[in-house]
Chain A
């Protein structure tokens, strides 16, 4: 899932269309949109508005591991209109501190520093772009994702040769964003492929539900149950999991939790290393299907 945070409706429009997002409420003046693979908030202009709307979207859809992307226009001294950058440094004209978004993947855009301004300026500076949201967005989005998963993509809409005049040409801005969609798409795919966590299996949810229906766990025991089931989910093959249902017929929950731990002890010792299958192949696989080299 990717969360887009975007200041202007005209910037958001091509992305809403691309993902076929549907309106799903809002917070104050911020408007939310949702689809199968993406969510989006139109925040309004300013660092503060962006921060408020980012927080509202994150609270409305709490989930870890999502990519957060702030996409919007910016000003640069001499880069061509339409050129896009990804932020490698984000500072603000009225807040202390600097963010350094971490990017352990290749990106279609060159990196650049962003300076988030509280009022528009045409006193462009070399080697960085001006925007009005990045710093607020980043501050707020870091609550919901780690630095690698919070990124700002900025598209040059004005420069010293064609300075901003305060009036937005909505159609032109939509076109600038639309032209970046293929790159955004590639980037999102790269990140999602490299950062995805395996979801808990159906077996894990079902096993926990069954255990909880049989025993009344204290909070500490519930944590133990969740962690042991997660570990067994990773350690066991499906046929081994299938026979675990019988465990819950034991009388005491302490004994039940202890049995789970014994299974973990046994299976972690079997799975921690890939050991070659001496009788058969030169290259074999261990129980988790990883290749084993002699």
Chain B
């Protein structure tokens, strides 16, 4: 799976590093002082590297758990995110990671125990308040779980901290790590979903939507809570009708009481990130038309955005309770 593995000096002897090196004996091993030497230099091409990314094993130093922006809440008292991994197995054309990082190589921060200590401290700093922790901000939470062992390390941890909620954000159908355990309420597996034409055209290397819906069903059957993430909505000809039919299809396939939360947002990106994505993929129609720059963000022209967002919102609220719904754009659109 990996032709090259970079190993940061500090984690050379870490048991997780050793396990991974044993798992990939043929990979070329390259030692480095800090992962930034490989990941951060400017003269790198994300698109070329995406053809065969290397794995970088590193130590996450400094602050490991960060508060989310206020508009990304899911109804808990406090919301945070942490990134045990940077970059993703999949290659969604709209993904902000490709515009944010210089390198497409995967970074795995192997010091899970330090993340857990910080999550514990965060929860215990105000034990009466519920905390939500997002794990899939800089990666897909489950796509590389067989490599990272993330769920094996974090599910037992969250099971012991019922006031701490974990979101596994994913497009992966690898739900067996959850299915092999008895469900508990404070883990939400949140699937990013788009109708087939969008998924087939823009969500490269990700499992087909049908397979994602089947995985979702397996989880709900087993008693796990799930989340639905309709973000980003993509504008194309007839998109409103396609999205409405798709939303009906999704809600028809899931028992309403298994849904923890639903989020919704249209395609948008900070200007600098957008520019970089556009430079990487100059032939990509997604980056070409019907867009405008507003307050430093590139997004769809207001009328397009409003119609797409509002129609999807109305449809969602026909199927779900408003208390489950957390739109990502209401402020920008004045809704």
Q: How far is the CB of A192 from chain B (nearest CB, A)?
A: 12
Whether the pair B288, A264 counts as a contact (CB closer than 8 A) is: yes
Whether the pair B197, A273 counts as a contact (CB closer than 8 A) is: yes
Shortest beta-carbon contacts, A-B, top 8: A268-B289, A265-B289, A273-B197, A268-B288, A146-B45, A271-B285, A104-B52, A268-B285
Find residues 239-286 in chain B having any chain A CB closer than 8 Å to their own CB: 242, 282-283, 285-286
Q: Which residues from B are CB-within-8-Å of A264?
A: 288-289
Whether the pair B4, A275 counts as a contact (CB closer than 8 A) is: no
Q: What is the CA–CA distance of A147 and B47 in the complex, to the nearest angstrom?
A: 12
Whether the pair B289, A106 counts as a contact (CB closer than 8 A) is: no
Which residue numbers of A lie inside 8 Å of B, CB to CB?
88-89, 98, 100, 102-106, 110-111, 113, 142, 145-149, 194-195, 198, 230-231, 234-235, 261, 264-276, 290, 292-294
Whether the pair A292, B43 counts as a contact (CB closer than 8 A) is: no
Q: Which residues from B are CB-within-8-Å of A270?
A: 236-237
What is the interface of chain A mostly: helix, strand, loop, or mixed? mixed
Which residue numbers of B lie inside 8 Å of A, CB to CB?
3-4, 6, 28, 30, 32, 37-38, 41, 43-45, 48-54, 103-105, 196-198, 200-202, 234-238, 242, 282-283, 285-286, 288-290
Q: Which residues from B are CB-within-8-Å of A147?
A: 41, 43-45
Q: List 18 A-B contacts (CB under 8 A).
A: A100-B32, A100-B38, A102-B103, A104-B52, A142-B43, A147-B43, A148-B48, A194-B51, A234-B283, A235-B285, A264-B288, A268-B286, A269-B290, A272-B285, A273-B200, A275-B197, A275-B236, A294-B196
Q: How far is the CB of A138 from chain B (nearest CB, A)?
A: 10
- Interface-centre pick from A98, A198, A231, A275 (highest chain B CB count, 10 A): A275
Q: How far is the CB of A206 from chain B (nearest CB, A)?
A: 19
Whether the pair B286, A106 counts as a contact (CB closer than 8 A) is: no
Q: What is the CA–CA distance of A113 and B32 in the complex, to the nearest angstrom?
A: 11
Q: How far is the CB of A229 from chain B (nearest CB, A)?
A: 12
Q: How far is the CB of A87 from chain B (nearest CB, A)?
A: 11
Q: Which residues from A are CB-within-8-Å of B286?
A: 268, 272
Q: What is the CA–CA distance of A235 and B282 in the complex, to the nearest angstrom?
A: 11
Closest-by-CB residue of B relative to A197 is: B282
Closest-by-CB residue of A relative to B282 is: A230
Q: Which residues from B are CB-within-8-Å of A268?
A: 285-286, 288-290
Q: Which residues from B are CB-within-8-Å of A266?
A: 289
For the complex with contacts A234-B288, A269-B289, A272-B234, 13 further pairs of A-B residues with Cβ separation under 8 Å are A88-B28, A98-B32, A100-B41, A104-B51, A105-B51, A147-B43, A148-B44, A148-B48, A235-B288, A268-B289, A271-B285, A272-B285, A273-B200
Q: Which residues from A are CB-within-8-Å of B103?
A: 102
Q: What is the CA–CA distance of A193 and B37 in the complex, to the nearest angstrom?
A: 28
Q: How far is the CB of B218 from chain A (nearest CB, A)?
A: 23
Whether the pair B282, A102 counts as a contact (CB closer than 8 A) is: no
Whether the pair B282, A234 counts as a contact (CB closer than 8 A) is: yes
- Interface-centre pick from B48, B104, B282 (highest chain A CB count, 10 A): B48
**CB within 8 A of A194: which of B30, B48, B53, B198?**
B48
Q: Which residues from A are CB-within-8-Å of B37?
A: 98, 100
Q: How far is the CB of A263 from chain B (nearest CB, A)?
A: 9
Q: What is the CA–CA distance of A102 and B37 in the complex, to the nearest angstrom?
A: 12
Q: Which residues from B are CB-within-8-Å of A111?
A: 4, 28, 30
Whether the pair A146, B289 counts as a contact (CB closer than 8 A) is: no
Q: What is the CA–CA distance of A266 and B290 in the complex, to the nearest angstrom?
A: 8
Q: Which residues from B are CB-within-8-Å of A89?
A: 30, 32
Closest-by-CB residue of A relative to B194 is: A273
Whether the pair A267, B283 counts as a contact (CB closer than 8 A) is: no
Q: What is the CA–CA distance of A235 and B286 in the complex, to the nearest angstrom?
A: 11
Closest-by-CB residue of A relative to B242 is: A275
Q: How far is the CB of A91 from chain B (nearest CB, A)?
A: 11
Q: Which residues from A are CB-within-8-Å of B235?
A: 269, 272
Whether the pair A148, B237 counts as a contact (CB closer than 8 A) is: no
Q: How far is the CB of B241 from chain A (nearest CB, A)?
A: 11
Closest-by-CB residue of B relative to A291 is: B200
Whether the pair B44, A146 counts as a contact (CB closer than 8 A) is: yes
Q: What is the CA–CA distance of A149 and B32 in the complex, to the nearest angstrom?
A: 21
Q: How far is the CB of B58 from chain A (nearest CB, A)?
A: 13
Whether the pair B283, A269 counts as a contact (CB closer than 8 A) is: no
Q: Which residues from A are CB-within-8-Å of B54?
A: 102, 104
- Interface-centre pick from A100, A110, A230, A266 (highest chain B CB count, 10 A): A100
Whether the pair B201, A273 counts as a contact (CB closer than 8 A) is: yes
